[in-house]
Amino acid sequence: MNTTDDDLVVVSPLMLEASSVRRGLHGGCVVRAGPHARRARRVEAVLRQHPARPVAVAGVAGALVGGLRPGDLVVASEVRSAQGTHRCRSAPLLATELRKLGLTVHIGPIVETDHVVWQPEGARLALDGAIAVDMESARLLDMIASRPAVVVRAVVDTPTRSLLHPATVPGGIAALSALRRIGPALRRWAAAAGPRKVLLAGPRSFCAGVDRAVEIVERLLDRQEPPIYVRKQIVHNSRVVGELERRGAVFVDELDEVPENATVVFSAHGVSPAVRRAASVRRLDVVDATCPLVSKVHGEARRFARDGHTVFLIGHAGHEEVEGTLGEAPDRTVLVEKPEDVETLEVEDPAKVSYLMQTTLAMDEAESVVDALRARFPALSGPGSDDICYATTNRQDAVRVVARESDVVLVAGSPNSSNSRRLVEVAQREGARAYLVDNVHEIDLEWLVGARTIGLSAGASAPTVLVDEIVDALAGLGTVEAQERTTATETVNFSLPKEVWHR
């Protein structure tokens, strides 16, 4: 055993495993557990000596399921034994760091047994969901008690090649060579460990428009045989889209990918009249999931255009909502993205100009564009009520409050989600380091080093489960004190379109 001032203890069962891990750590506190009581006492002594350090259990394992190859790593989401189950909540965070090192990583339950597992016992264990088996992890986690702990195991043998197969030797070499590479990831995981406060911005996650759009597709999938076609992503979130795809939704970019007479759903972001006409020509069975607050902006565009106005649409080029709104009066609408665009605008009649907004803009940025427009066109008229919707406003207010108290702000949301990206920018403008993460696997442990207060929000298209998964993973790094910071309570609810009920 070699101890240094590292903030990590690694426990490895066998000498070869311990020396492989130690080589990758370039020293560090690696203690060999071994099968005997004397070794166990040694581990206990080291743990007592370093009571606050996080602990990694690292060694080799047998794979229980196909798809795992010798040299692949298994990071335990939990470790099961006859005595019970240990959850390893920070597994996704460590797995991300290991993947960055070019290693192949699987996350799943590991089961501990007191004997070498042969078939068909391995197949029986796999039926319960375990993906790998070892002989020590649960026992070692018992010793570690409540401090942050991870288990990483390198695969030696697979269900089709048992330990007695000649390929075990190269499998063992591959496993030990993988263990030699895990050191930098273990160090990053340990550096990020520690107790912290998590401030949950409220409101966060689904808004009424997203709730309605997702429910429309879910109800259609309940009521009729798949496929249900959806033009564009129903809402901009990869988890939502993936889950609906698994149930039979087919997402298409354009209507010519939808067979005639098939059911197609228009996404929450809305469509232009040209798309509605194309659907009618193809005799498609349309169910419209456009958010009513987006439809309101479309109505305003039609009204201003009918009155002979030039309409300035404040928004981001290429966003589906913007394309849909522009399509209401393409000859009379001009997209304006930033205040600098205003200088060069040409209009037919400066007395007949108006503006509209994309619903998911940052409030302060949109206001600066309106100010520039008003300075250049004093007759400018605007919408009857704010186009930036209640959900965008509420989430931005909440993340602003949280950001002021946080070292780091994490926003759950997909990169193509406009409102999620705006939340990151709002938090950054409050001085916090803020990051957008599509899921827990996108968290970089480097962000968390020294960050004792983490703000957490989620875009209007991001399901709450993403936030729950992030809190859970953070709790695997140390005690988490979660506090809600609620700045508004939302009661908005939109009814479903009649087309959903009448089938």
| Interface with ligand SF4 (CB under 6 A) | 207-210, 268, 291, 293-294, 359-360, 389, 391-392, 419, 460
Q: How far is the CB of 199 from ligand SF4 (least distance, A)?
A: 22
In terms of CB distance, is 32 or 395 closer to ligand SF4? 395
Instruction: Report CA 440 to chain centroid distance, whole Å.
Output: 5
In terms of CB distance, is 310 or 360 closer to ligand SF4? 360
Distance of alpha carbon 76 from alpha carbon 105, whole angstroms: 10
Q: How far is the CB of 418 from ligand SF4 (least distance, A)?
A: 9
The three-state secondary structure class of 252 is strand
Q: How far is the CB of 206 from ligand SF4 (least distance, A)?
A: 8
Distance of alpha carbon 109 from alpha carbon 90, whole angstroms: 13
In terms of CB distance, is 79 or 244 closer to ligand SF4? 244
Q: Which residue is nearest to ligand SF4 (CB)?
A: 209
Looking at 78, 300, 320, 321, which residue is catalytic? 321
In terms of CB distance, is 354 or 360 closer to ligand SF4? 360
In terms of CB distance, is 22 or 421 closer to ligand SF4? 421
Residue 322 has φ and ψ, to the nearest 5°, of -65, -40
Counts of helices then strands in the chain (DSSP H, E) = 18, 20
Read out DSSP for 127-178? HTT--EEESSHHHHHHHHTTS-EEEEEEEEEBTTB-TTSTTHHHHHHHHHHH
In terms of CB distance, is 272 or 392 closer to ligand SF4? 392
Q: How far is the CB of 208 from ligand SF4 (least distance, A)?
A: 5
Q: How far is the CB of 402 from ligand SF4 (least distance, A)?
A: 19
Q: How long is the chain?
A: 503
Task: Check residue 343 and report its DSSP letter.
Answer: G
Distance of alpha carbon 461 from alpha carbon 81, whole angstroms: 39
Q: Which residue has the tokens 């020294």?
A: 450
**Residue pair 427/454 in contact by the 8 Å Cβ criterion:** no
Please indicate whether residue 17 is annotated as part of the active site: no
Cβ-based neighbour number of residue 38 at 10 Å: 7
Q: How far is the CB of 387 from ligand SF4 (least distance, A)?
A: 9
In terms of CB distance, is 407 or 490 closer to ligand SF4? 490
Q: How far is the CB of 470 from ligand SF4 (least distance, A)?
A: 21
Residue 237 has φ and ψ, to the nearest 5°, of -150, 125
**Residue 172 identity (one-letter amino acid):** G
Q: Which residue has the tokens 């803009």?
A: 361
- What are the C-alpha distances in Å from 265 to residues 66, 274, 275, 499? 38, 15, 12, 11
Q: Which 3-state string (H, E, C) describes 206-237?
A: CCHHHHHHHHHHHHHHHHCCCCEEEECCCCCC
* Catalytic center residues: 321
